Amino acid sequence: MRYNCGEVITAMVTPFNDKRDVDYDKVEELASHLVENGSDAVLVTGTTGESPTLTHEEELEILSSTKRAVGDKGKVIMGTGSNSTETAVSMAKRAEREGADAILTVVPYYNKPSQAGMIEHFSAVAEATELPVILYNIPSRTGVNMAVETVKTLARKYENIVALKQSFGDMDTVTELRMSCPNDFAIYSGDDSLTLPMLSLGAHGVISVASHLFGKEIKSMIRNFKTGDAATAKNMHQKLYPIFKKLFMAPNPVPVKAALAYKGIIEDYVRRPLVELTKQEKNELFFVLDSI
């Protein structure tokens, strides 16, 4: 493997206080909690971290706080993507200077580039940094899908493009990615409920939301599958499936923040335009959480 970020990467939420300022003490507490409970790495300032409403200065301070908390217990990956190539390049360079172990960079959103445009965009990022680069394909948010051929081209051209987070639930595409890309190029599920199916097709692990709450269980599911105990892995998948789905009953990360607040780990504040769950929604979520 070109660079091993681990099997369970938690896409970490950004804790806020009641004024909706970043609570950096809680950032450190949460990051430490995650790496002590099944996460091999934490991904900060991604969509789950509410990156669209963070300033670049806040993002870099979150990275620094997380690095302090994690130390040598796991890796810290920074979401540096943008729909501006210039900004994505600049943030990749800043992440490298500030000590990130790797970066995640998303398909440009809203401006919907062609496949040729994506290749130019990601090439510029890869050439701007020596950090390992994880590509991120999530058509439901970006409005455009990154083709298998595009991923293949980038993975073969750049040694530091090491992995793909695939949040697109087409299993034929996962098969084609695994057949087309180099063997040492890692594929991660971007959806908790698709982790086990994708593992069966050659994925390496998951960039997870549910691992905020069930990191050890997700880790054991992956380990059991990879060591040949598919039945036990399937049982864990089925046990966790209801919460995998319920954590997306409202826009991410609203439900997982509510669940973390229910467990007494952080508060559930989110930044507008997101809003907290209603009382009824919380009751539905907590009922499923308590049943696992």
Catalytic residues: 136, 165
Cβ atoms within 10 Å of 234's Cβ, excluding its own: 14
Structure tokens at 146: 């990154």
3-state secondary structure string, 164-214?
Answer: EEECCCCHHHHHHHHHHCCCCCEEEECCHHHHHHHHCCCCCEEEECCHHHH
The residues that bridge with 78 in the sheet, in sequence order, are 44, 103
In angstroms, rounded to a whole number, what is the distance separating the alpha carbons of residues 252 and 215?
Answer: 18
Fill in the DSSP letter of residue 51: G
In angstroms, rounded to a whole number, what is the distance separating the alpha carbons of residues 60 and 123?
Answer: 23
Structure tokens at 261: 């607040």
Structure tokens at 173: 């595409």
Structure tokens at 3: 């660079």
C-alpha triplet 202, 208, 212: angle, nearest 5°: 145
Start-to-end CA span in the chain (Å): 34
Helix (H, G, I), strand (E, B) or coil at 292: coil
Helix (H, G, I), strand (E, B) or coil at 123: helix
236-225-218-32 Cα dihedral, nearest 10 degrees: 150
